[in-house]
Structure 1
Amino acid sequence: MYSCKSFFFIATALLLGISGCGSFPNSTQPLASSISSAASAIPSIDPQSEQLFQKGLTAYESFNYNEAIFFYDKSLSIDKNNYKALSGKGIALAMQGNENNSTQDITSGIALIKSALQKNPNYVAAFYDLALALKINKNYDESIYWFQKVIQKEPDNTWSYYGIATIYGDKGQAKEAVTYLKKAMSLDNINVKQAARTQSHFDSIRSDPAFKSLINE
């Protein structure tokens, strides 16, 4: 579990409006296969590097991405194998790129998160970070793949279900969006319903009877 990031997951779902549709990759396999599933040993993290990672995380959860990147860089200067800091810097870069319309920041962030998963293929927080970064980059099929990876490890991860629902909403696939919204609402009805009512991801399906019924219950 990664409860230290739970606040940010909720904040991301409620406050970040990542919208729009892009091209869909033919397969998720190239990305998945690029991340080794057989690391010989998960590296231990230097205690001082861990402390700096935590400072970066605090800044990140407050949406201070520049400050977060600063602390993640300091963390990595002490321990280059700190997979938490690698993933943290990666998603902070992707979020910053989303704000600044910087494709380079987004793609650099994705590469860093993948590097974190090379060092620890079972780091579930990086699954979520990668799903979110790929969503920002409009790699929607790959994003769904990694949200599903989170759910496999944590079946009660509300905002991974919601993340998938927003992708289907962006694609105009009402049936699939409603399916995943129901799953998210079963875990956090009030916050998920509020997000679905206000975010633009679902604009293309707002007239769908099942969607209308769900968010107005």
Structure 2
Amino acid sequence: MRRQAVTALVMSALMSGTVSAREAQIGAQHTYVTACLADEEPADRMVSICERALDQPDASLRQRLDVMETLAWAHYHLDDEARARSLFVEILAIDPDSEDGLSGLGWLAIESQDYGVARDYFERAMNRSPNAEVQAGLAMSRYWGNDIGSRDALHGLEAALAIDPNYLWAMVRKGWVLTDLDRLDEAAAAFRFVIKREPDNESALYGMAFVESERDNWTTALSFVDRALEEDPDYVSALSRRSLILFYLDRNKEALRDAEKVIALAPDRADGYVRKARALSSLGRRVKGFEVLKEAEARVGYSSFLVYWRASLLLDEGRSSEALEQIDRTMAESEADFHDHLLRARIGLELKDIPLARESIDAALALRPEDKWGLYYDAMVMAQEDRFGMAVQQFGQAVERGLSLTKLDEFNAALVGRGAYATAVLLRARYLLVK
């Protein structure tokens, strides 16, 4: 603290001209370097300070390399990525094994989504200095580049956090990897850890909004996503998630407004169009919603996400055959995930095509064997197969995993429709007693 205060006073004196020329010469040789390496000023001021530090002839080689790294990041924060990159390249020209140069280029490659390039730089940096930042950068570049899966990425991040438990970037990434693994309680703990130490961390705030919305805690999710957007009003993913949250809170006009902003900010992303189409549909403008999805495919191209929601809206309209045609496009592309198979099972039930429904629900459960919706629609298919005892058992499993009892009436209707009156009566009585 004392050194920082002295540095600030000397810097002020140097820039105001209140010291002698000789004092300025001596001070400049040390103070600009010290001030640059302290890295405590706004980025534009850091550029000026660090460039002056590089002009000092008595700075050591180590100091010059450190100054160049600080200067590179100052340019990066001023959105001059080209200058930042050239400085990191210059660092490597001086010292080919510089961890600062290697990891700097690694982070810039991650920013550009050149994950293979990032991985190579981080692997070289690991050989020089296996610190927490390099370990985390390597794990995530390999994960985002599809070299490793979620569990291996998690192990890499945990290794980074074992080196530095307070490395918040790695902790946020850990939270997101845990959401990919559907380990929501652990993900929430990681995001809370970050928010406690850095309350304005927008990625952690958005992460909490994501987790709470996945738990259907829409009001809580809204409070977190609002805080993330206070930090960055143009945070596209947070805007998209808020549109979804507002949709489920039946605030569709607000959901529509956020969706339109997502489209304006990211016209090549599919999710803004989907959010808009769903909000329009809930506002009674379903035809316009279909037009939005058609426009989206013209702009974005084929997207399984767009196809899924077009099929879903068609199913909601009772246009089951058209819905099947849409979702089968995703099947043909071999891109179907759990949600695609589940929707196809629902379509099969509506069409009374039970072999189709069975094939689809089996595929869904193979991906998520304990998902409450997978279990529920498996029960619905079993009812149509006249496997009433197993259907009731599977319905119970779905309830244990969080399925709302509001689905009891629909399930009982399926049983009654197959003539299983006594089973339906006993099931209703059981859950009435539970309530």
**TM-score of Structure 1 vs Structure 2, range by shorter chain:** 0.5 to 0.7
Instruction: Show the counterpart of 1:196.
Output: 408
Instruction: Show the counterpart of 2:395.
Output: 181
Which structure 1 segments of 5+ residues have no match? 9-44, 99-104
Largest Rg, 1 or 2:
2
Q: How does 1:153-192 map to 2 (within 5 A)?
A: 153-188=367-402, 191-192=404-405
Residues 1:76 and 2:289 are matched in the alignment: no
RMSD over aligned CA atoms reads 3.4
2:215, 2:310 → 1: CA distance?
A: 17
Structure 1 87/6 Cα, relative in aligned 2: closer, same or farther at 3 Å?
Answer: farther
Instruction: Show the counterpart of 2:197.
Output: none
Residues 1:211 and 2:400 are matched in the alignment: no
Structure 1 144/207 Cα, relative in aligned 2: closer, same or farther at 3 Å?
Answer: same
What are the Cα deviations for residues 117-157 of structure 1, in whole angstroms up to 9, with x where unaligned? 33352433211221111211111222122122222222332
TM-score normalised by structure 2 residue count? 0.34
Shift of 1:195: 2.1
Residues 1:138 and 2:359 are matched in the alignment: no
Instruction: Show the counterpart of 1:29.
Output: none
Instruction: Show the counterpart of 2:340.
Output: 126
Structure 1 155/61 Cα, relative in aligned 2: closer, same or farther at 3 Å?
Answer: farther
8 Å contact kept, 1:196–1:202: no
Question: 2:422 is aligned with what amino acid?
Answer: S
8 Å contact kept, 1:174–1:211: no
Whose helix fraction is larger, Structure 1's or Structure 2's?
Answer: 2
Shift of 1:115: 0.4
Structure 1 141/215 Cα, relative in aligned 2: closer, same or farther at 3 Å?
Answer: farther
Q: How does 1:89-100 map to 2 (within 5 A)?
A: 89-96=310-317, 98=318
Question: 2:413 is aligned with what amino acid?
Answer: S
Structure 1 197/53 Cα, relative in aligned 2: closer, same or farther at 3 Å?
Answer: closer
What are the Cα deviations for residues 25-55 of structure 1, in whole angstroms up to 9, with x where unaligned? xxxxxxxxxxxxxxxxxxxx97344321232
Question: 2:400 is aligned with what amino acid?
Answer: S
8 Å contact kept, 1:134–1:143: yes
Query: Identity percentage over the alignment?
Result: 7
Shift of 1:113: 0.5
Shift of 1:6: 8.4
Which structure 2 segments of 5+ residues have no match? 1-179, 183-209, 217-243, 245-265
8 Å contact kept, 1:84–1:116: no
2:331, 2:284 → 1: CA distance?
A: 23
1:64, 1:205 → 2: CA distance?
A: 39
Residues 1:148 and 2:369 are matched in the alignment: no
Question: 2:373 is aligned with what amino acid?
Answer: W
Q: How does 1:55-66 map to 2 (within 5 A)?
A: 55-59=276-280, 65-66=286-287
2:289, 2:214 → 1: CA distance?
A: 14
What are the Cα deviations for residues 5-25 of structure 1, in whole angstroms up to 9, with x where unaligned? 9879xxxxxxxxxxxxxxxxx
8 Å contact kept, 1:127–1:150: yes
What are the Cα deviations for residues 68-101 of structure 1, in whole angstroms up to 9, with x where unaligned? 32221121111231121112112211221x2xxx
What are the Cα deviations for residues 173-214 of structure 1, in whole angstroms up to 9, with x where unaligned? 32121121121111125x13x422465112232413863564
Aligned length: 172
Residues 1:52 and 2:273 are matched in the alignment: yes
8 Å contact kept, 2:382–2:391: yes
TM-score normalised by structure 1 residue count? 0.64
Instruction: Show the counterpart of 1:19.
Output: none
Structure 1 173/145 Cα, relative in aligned 2: closer, same or farther at 3 Å?
Answer: same
8 Å contact kept, 1:110–1:130: yes
